[in-house]
Structure 1
Amino acid sequence: MPGATRNRRRPGAIRIALLSLLSAVTAAGLYGCTSDGTQETPPPDGTPPPSAPASPTARSPFTGLPAKPAQVLAVKIDNVQAARPATGLGTADLVYVEQVEGGVTRLLAVYSAHLPDRIGPVRSARESDLSLLRPFGRPVLAYSGAQSALNPLIEAAPLYPVTEGDTPAAFVRDPARPAPHNLYLRPERALAAAPDATRARDIGFRFGSAPADGTAVNSTSVRFPAARYTFTWSAPDKAWRVAMDGRAGRSTDTGALTPETVVIQYVTVRPSGFRDRFGSVSPYTETVGSGNAVVLRDGRSHQARWNRPTQDAGTAFTTPAGTPLNFARGQVWVVLAPR
């Protein structure tokens, strides 16, 4: 029949098409395990989960949201009263709250999917940061400096340190703010200084449907020796509004701080072998081991267990019965609270 030859596919074209499809499926599977972003485990009865569609959407392992694989940037952010409000904090994928000298806290914000124009105020690193970042591979760590005795440990750690001293083009000072709360990072320039930094990868988080149990809560507070955080459920935001020391937390560029999931991870906080420039002993937050946690999502509180067997391993969060505890998709805050 005339025209039949034009509609017939050549065998070589078919093979190329099949190979392209297989490559796309394989590449997507390296980053996101299912089409909806949930990293699934087999059901208790051992039956395998339903097959994913042929072209699953890549999802961030830090938020469960659609995202292209990108380098990881961690930034040490000051959040004492004089440093607030922060800039760029609402864009972070993940925020850790850590205790430092004097019982106050600092934030370690992790970015990959989205980068704001500026992040800060940037402050100094602590020994705890080095262990906390090990599951991320070899990320960039931007900070204002560290005491001299800690520098050899930072240089030996699997990360790319970026400071104002060695990468001045990545930082800017805000003349409207008093020092030391006036140093800000230009994230694009920080990542350009470390082109081989690791891309986002699995650190143990799971995203998906909430557990069937849990307790409805309006707000939950966490106390440090000289700091207090309160997380209040906001139904219109479908997220938790953050307050620090009784005042609403916000970022200058995005407004109110509203993480979808808050993890209160109870850990051991002990004295380290380092002191700050005033002679105060720096606390060390132990994040390797296991313990209790509370996961806040969707207006409910869930009792949990956390487990991180080695420094290079991610942290798994499970129900008391031992099944994975899914987080809500979106920004995650992990409060490393003293036991």
Structure 2
Amino acid sequence: MWDVRAYRTPDRRRSTARIFGAVLLPCALLLSACSADQPAPTASPRASQAESSYTAPPATETAPLRGTSVPTGSLAHPSLAAKIDNHEAARPQFGLERTDVVFEELVEGGLTRYVAVWHSDIPDVVGPIRSIRPMDPDIIAPLGGIVAYSGGQQQFIDLMTRTSVVNAAFDSDETGLFSRTGEREAPHNVVLQSKALVDRNDTVPAPSQQFAYAATVPESSATVDGTPVTTISSRFSDSRWPDWTWDAASTSYLRNQEGAPDLDAGGVQLRSTNVLALRVEIDDTYLNVPKTTMIGSGEAWVSAGGKTVHALWTKAAQDAPIRLTDDNGVTIRLAAGNTWIELVPVDRGSVTLVP
């Protein structure tokens, strides 16, 4: 007899396989058709347009004498330091409002003069230009660049020319860029075509950074760690007592001399983001010509943002910059902006801070 079960089982399996295959084939064909009809992914027009219109921001660097952010390469020129007159007959001076740094120093007769330094913003004309003094090489040498002055004792000129700084002197002028203006009387009338002088020396390197800087006034060491001070008064002698008053509206200090506003040539009061008062020794080696001792150390006060922090200043060598540290030995950061430095004698001057 035939075994019915053994006979039917193969047919049932083959039948099932045929049905299963029939079901899969249309699905496979359907998937293939769907895949063929699907377009390849492409970037959206909006994204492509955004990518093509993107412009990278310009590269920036820190201005070495201001701490501000400037386009890379925009300050690839030397600094100019000039001896600027501060006699009453020389006021208002030309270009002081555009300086990066100004040093005020004691000279003969209890008067003061400036070593004014321009780099970020160089005017067409600066002055009145006066003669060199024995401390000037120590002040200017760390900057490199150019120094402009109108003569001086030969021993002081020799000290200046022995530095690496490019010397430009009115008394031996070969540039043709010094002249006397009819607006003032001699000797307070020598002026310099400063922009032209810098342009002629454009291969001289830019200065190195002299101080540590914070990006903003609120981030400066004085503002963060200092105490509120409204006025910084420095007395050099009975003839010279400049002071600086905090002006919150302009986030800067306004300058006065001998109790009156100190104005620029446009009639605007001179101002500074940072005010440094450094106590310095006076060397009387040159008899009636006082020499501010710059290589060494001393007490200092650093002001920014309406506050003042006590400090120590040090300068290791002629070519070395001034270093500022707080009472904990931490490097002080100035606020980004311009700086005035009062070099106040220890033995004959004073610094008064008014809350």
Q: Is TM more than 0.5 here?
A: yes
Q: Quick check: which one's helix share is greater? A: 2
In the alignment, structure 1 residue 231 sits paired with structure 2 residue 259:
no
- Residue 253 of structure 1: CA displacement? 4.0
SS in 2 for 1:314: coil
- Residue 207 of structure 1: CA displacement? 2.9
Backbone CA RMSD of aligned residues: 2.2
* Structure 2 counterpart of 1:272, from 271, 285, 290: 285
| Cα distance in 2 between the residues matched to 1:291 and 1:162 | 32
The residue aligned with 2:116 is 109
Give the AA of the match of 2:247. Answer: S
How high is the sequence identity, in percent, across the aligned residues?
30
In the alignment, structure 1 residue 144 sits paired with structure 2 residue 147:
no
The residue aligned with 1:34 is none
SS in 2 for 1:190: helix
The residue aligned with 1:329 is 336
* Structure 1 counterpart of 2:320, from 305, 313, 317: 313
Asked if structure 2 preserves the Cα contact closer than 8 Å seen for 1:60 and 1:200, the reply is: no
- Residue 193 of structure 1: CA displacement? 4.3
In the alignment, structure 1 residue 61 sits paired with structure 2 residue 64:
yes
- Residue 154 of structure 1: CA displacement? 2.4
* Structure 2 counterpart of 1:210, from 220, 225, 232: 220
In the alignment, structure 1 residue 154 sits paired with structure 2 residue 160:
yes
The residue aligned with 2:46 is none
| Cα distance in 2 between the residues matched to 1:80 and 1:308 | 29
| Cα distance in 2 between the residues matched to 1:125 and 1:234 | 34
The residue aligned with 2:261 is 248
Deviations 1:194-235 (A, max 9, x none): 344331212234334133332211112100123111100011
- Residue 332 of structure 1: CA displacement? 0.3
Q: What is the TM-score with the length of structure 2 in the denominator? A: 0.75
Give the AA of the match of 2:162. Answer: A
Asked if structure 2 preserves the Cα contact closer than 8 Å seen for 1:118 and 1:186, the reply is: yes
Give the AA of the match of 1:271. Answer: D
- Residue 56 of structure 1: CA displacement? 5.5
| Cα distance in 1 between the residues matched to 2:212 and 2:87 | 29
* Structure 2 counterpart of 1:219, from 226, 231, 248: 231
Give the AA of the match of 1:210. Answer: S
In the alignment, structure 1 residue 294 sits paired with structure 2 residue 275:
no
The residue aligned with 2:271 is 258
- Residue 176 of structure 1: CA displacement? 2.2
| Cα distance in 2 between the residues matched to 1:110 and 1:188 | 13
Asked if structure 1 preserves the Cα contact closer than 8 Å seen for 2:65 and 2:120, the reply is: no
Runs of at least 5 residues in structure 1 that lack an aligned partner in the other structure = 5-53, 276-280
| Cα distance in 1 between the residues matched to 2:92 and 2:190 | 13
- Residue 100 of structure 1: CA displacement? 0.6
In the alignment, structure 1 residue 96 sits paired with structure 2 residue 112:
no
SS in 2 for 1:127: coil
The residue aligned with 1:303 is 310
Instruction: Tell me whether 138-147 or 200-209 shows the greater mean CA deviation.
Output: 200-209
SS in 2 for 1:134: helix
The residue aligned with 2:45 is none
Task: State which structure, 1 or 2, has the greater radius of gyration over its C-alpha atoms.
Answer: 2
- Residue 168 of structure 1: CA displacement? 4.9
* Structure 2 counterpart of 1:120, from 127, 140, 143: 127
| Cα distance in 2 between the residues matched to 1:130 and 1:98 | 13
Give the AA of the match of 2:122. Answer: L
Alpha carbons of structure 1 residues 269 and 91: separation in structure 2 relative to 1, 3 Å:
same
Asked if structure 1 preserves the Cα contact closer than 8 Å seen for 2:101 and 2:339, the reply is: yes
User: Which residues of 2 match residues 12-91 of structure 1 at below 5 A?
Assistant: 57-67=60-70, 68-69=74-75, 70-91=77-98
Q: What is the TM-score with the length of structure 1 in the denominator? A: 0.78
Alpha carbons of structure 1 residues 128 and 254: separation in structure 2 relative to 1, 3 Å:
same
- Residue 181 of structure 1: CA displacement? 0.8
The residue aligned with 1:11 is none
SS in 2 for 1:169: coil
Give the AA of the match of 1:219. Answer: T
| Cα distance in 1 between the residues matched to 2:212 and 2:182 | 39
| Cα distance in 1 between the residues matched to 2:195 and 2:59 | 28
- Residue 109 of structure 1: CA displacement? 0.6
Displaced runs of 4 or more, over 6 A: none
Runs of at least 5 residues in structure 2 that lack an aligned partner in the other structure = 1-38, 43-56, 347-355
- Residue 151 of structure 1: CA displacement? 2.7
- Residue 99 of structure 1: CA displacement? 0.7
The residue aligned with 2:136 is 129
